[in-house]
Amino acid sequence: MANLATFRANLASTLAAAGRVVYAWPNENITPPAIVIVPGSPYMTVSAIGGSRISVRFDITCIVNAADNQAALANLETLILSVTDLLANNISFLGGWSQPTVTQIGNADMLISQLNIEMVTTN
């Protein structure tokens, strides 16, 4: 069976080309702008019992500081476009980006948007 930690690490390496901090797992201390990778839903799907094809989903969250509305949205859009370009050739399924929302992370307000992706591999 595929090593899911390796999938996350490879995905993090690909996304690091966006020039931002990339967390391959949820982290309690986030330094924006950042990209966070967490398991998606459904996390893993096997094509058939005993089958060799496995689909793995991740949610990618882009995070920027929300101190200035106009600048925050511009920064988030730039990060979203960078991530989308980096993933275009490496992912089997690329969902749509969620509407940007303000979320408190730690003691700071952050502007975030999420994308669901699917990677397909064989045993």
In angstroms, the Cα distances linking 101 to 49, 74, 123 are: 39, 13, 38
Are 41 and 53 within 8 A, CB to CB?
Answer: no
Give the pTM. 0.88
In angstroms, the Cα distances linking 56 to 3, 87, 118 are: 11, 15, 6
Are 102 and 86 within 8 A, CB to CB?
Answer: no
What confidence score (pLDDT) does residue 26 get?
Answer: 84
What confidence score (pLDDT) does residue 1 get?
Answer: 47
For residue 2, give both structure tokens: 């595929």
What confidence score (pLDDT) does residue 51 get?
Answer: 67
Cα separation, 47 vs 90, whole angstroms: 20
- DSSP letters, 58-123, are EEEEEEEE-SSHHHHHHHHHHHHHHHHHHHTTT-SEE-PPPPPEEEEETTEEEEEEEEEEEEEEE-
Domains (range + CATH), the chain: 4-122 (3.30.70)
What confidence score (pLDDT) does residue 88 get?
Answer: 75
What confidence score (pLDDT) does residue 39 get?
Answer: 92
Residues of the chain scoring pLDDT < 50? 1
